[in-house]
Amino acid sequence: MKRTNTFAVRPLSDDGEQVLRNVLDASAALWNEINYQRLMRYNDEDGFEGDVWDADTGALEGKYKDVLGASTAQQVIRKNSEAWTGFFELKDQYHDEPNTSITDHPSPPGFRGNKDDGRQLKTVIRNTSYSIEWGERSRLEIIIGDELRDRHNSPGSRLRLEVVGDPNWPEYESQGRLDLWYDETDDSFRASQPVTVSDETRATPLADETAALDIGANNLVACTTTTGEHYLYGGRTLFQRFRKTGQEIARLQSKLEDGQYSSERIRRLYRKRTRRRDHAQEALCRDLLDQLYEEGVDTVYLGDVTDVLETHWSADTNAKTHNFWAFKKFTDRLACTAEEYGISVEIRSEAWTSQECPDCGSTERTTRHQDTLTCPCGFEGHADLTASRTFLERQTDEAVRPMARPVRFEWDDHEWSETAYSPVRDSPKEQRTNRSTSDGKLASGETA
């Protein structure tokens, strides 16, 4: 299984910190130079002939290898090549009319700032050019160039850094290349290490139950299981903070001088906004899968919102799901985390589930107002939970058990916690009171 260790690192001395900053700064400068050559060729500027792959990478590697080491210089250039390859793939998808997954024209890879406005200090180290020792005094060693070794009297050709905290995956079969960067928001150096761990670390589901997830704009995830449990993860507060940061970014952009496209403060806000979203997203996946594993779920059905977005949802909802919630990123994260629990994730169409009445099956007569779905037949229930129930029944071809009272979660910047009016549980398997009526018309009638 592919996993990632993310951790903070600390230089052992002031000289060591200067060496590390020089490595990160030189990596950013190399990225900018190779990116500039490729961008000029992409735009067909005078003096730059050929396509983007004709850039003189050999000369640039030679220019920076004395600071970075040859292997790191090569990795920075390779990562820029991967960014351009990804850009061209997205561009092809954008121009492919049957493919509706890319709605905005992609932009070429960007730069990492300059000395005046501040650079994004970041580098990448080849998997054979670093080593990590885990223990009471964990440490990371990376290869550096001869110029830095001689200037700062670093031992050998390696820079030693202290690792802060414990890894999620201290035992692994192989390691990938290391991303290393300076986080201005936290004023710390951080690293990300992809690893391959043994399949033996994967858990085994306790039963063969099934769950279905409805991805929403205001309620991020509504989940229904074949055991009759229901989980609801609210997103209004999280989205309001995301939007507020976006408004501040727009305000700062409006004050930029002509010819200036960004600033270090704007880039910092973008990074802060993304990190907050990713943290909440990762925590949601972990919290939800903990619940589902204890329920004995071995398969999770996740709705593919692509066709739903085009047909039914508003532009504001699309923006929430595409930009804020980042559906594709959430799907990948959920599937990756589910693998640890031995739970499979299946992507299926959820078209019309948010409009379908679970009692009479109508999709034309139902009305949705905020979180409530009503039907002239008499049904009234929570719209997102009803959608997840309908979605689950479609996948299993079986009626879902009478609904228990849903468990609601809200994000507090650190974890997803049950709201005060949710029932307190001793364990995910505790049987909660069934608040549905005898005819099931209020099966999910609790409103958020």
CATH of the domain at 295: 3.30.420
Residue pair 427/255 in contact (Cβ under 8 Å)? The answer is no
Crossing angle, helix 236-254 and helix 264-294, to 10 degrees? Answer: 170
* Side-chain-side CA neighbours of residue 95 (13 Å): 5
pLDDT band at 311 (very low <50, low <70, confident <90, very high): very low
Which residue type, as a one-letter code, is found at position 288?
L
Same domain, 329 and 293: yes
Same domain, 223 and 114: no
Task: Quote the number of domains for the chain.
Answer: 2
Same domain, 122 and 252: no
Same domain, 144 and 262: no
Q: Which whole number is the average pLDDT over 4-19?
A: 91
Q: Is 436 part of a structural domain of the chain?
A: no
Higher local confidence (pLDDT), 271 or 103: 271
In angstroms, the CA 356 to CA 247 distance is: 36
Judge whether residue 165 has pLDDT over 70.
yes
Same domain, 22 and 154: yes
Q: What is the DSSP letter of 418?
A: E
Q: Is 431 part of a structural domain of the chain?
A: no
In angstroms, the CA 286 to CA 12 distance is: 34
Same domain, 394 and 332: yes
Q: Is 437 part of a structural domain of the chain?
A: no
| Beta carbons within 10 angstroms of residue 202's beta carbon | 13
Higher local confidence (pLDDT), 28 or 113: 28
Q: Is 319 part of a structural domain of the chain?
A: yes
Tell me the residue range of the domain where 273 lies.
Answer: 209-418
Identify the domain boundary among 201, 228, 249.
201
Q: Which whole number is the average pLDDT over 118-138?
A: 91
Q: Which whole number is the average pLDDT over 365-375?
A: 88
pLDDT at 433: 34
Quick: pLDDT tens for 395-426: 998 888 766 688 999 998 888 998 854 443 43
Identify the domain boundary among 153, 178, 201.
201
Residue pair 378/440 in contact (Cβ under 8 Å)? The answer is no
Decide: helix, strand or coil at residue 380. strand
Closest CA to 9 of 123, 145, 150, 157: 123
pTM of the predicted model as reported, rounded to 2 decimal places: 0.67
pLDDT at 318: 53
pLDDT at 353: 85
Which residue type, as a one-letter code, is found at position 175?
Q
Q: Is 153 part of a structural domain of the chain?
A: yes
Q: Is 18 part of a structural domain of the chain?
A: yes
Quick: pLDDT tens for 199-231: 877 788 889 999 999 987 788 899 999 998 999
Same domain, 197 and 234: no
Same domain, 100 and 230: no
Q: Is 143 part of a structural domain of the chain?
A: yes
Same domain, 318 and 402: yes
Mean pLDDT of the chain: 84
Same domain, 66 and 36: yes
Same domain, 161 and 241: no
pLDDT at 181: 95
Q: Is 371 part of a structural domain of the chain?
A: yes
Identify the domain boundary among 201, 228, 246.
201
The residues pairing with 380 across neighbouring beta strands, listed in sequence order, are 374
pLDDT at 391: 93
pLDDT band at 312 (very low <50, low <70, confident <90, very high): very low
pLDDT at 126: 96
Sheet holding 209-215, edge to edge: 344-349, 297-304, 209-215, 219-225, 230-234, 407-411, 416-418
Judge whether residue 293 has pLDDT over 50.
yes
| Beta carbons within 10 angstroms of residue 390's beta carbon | 23
Same domain, 145 and 237: no
Rg (CA), the chain: 25
In angstroms, the CA 375 to CA 232 distance is: 22
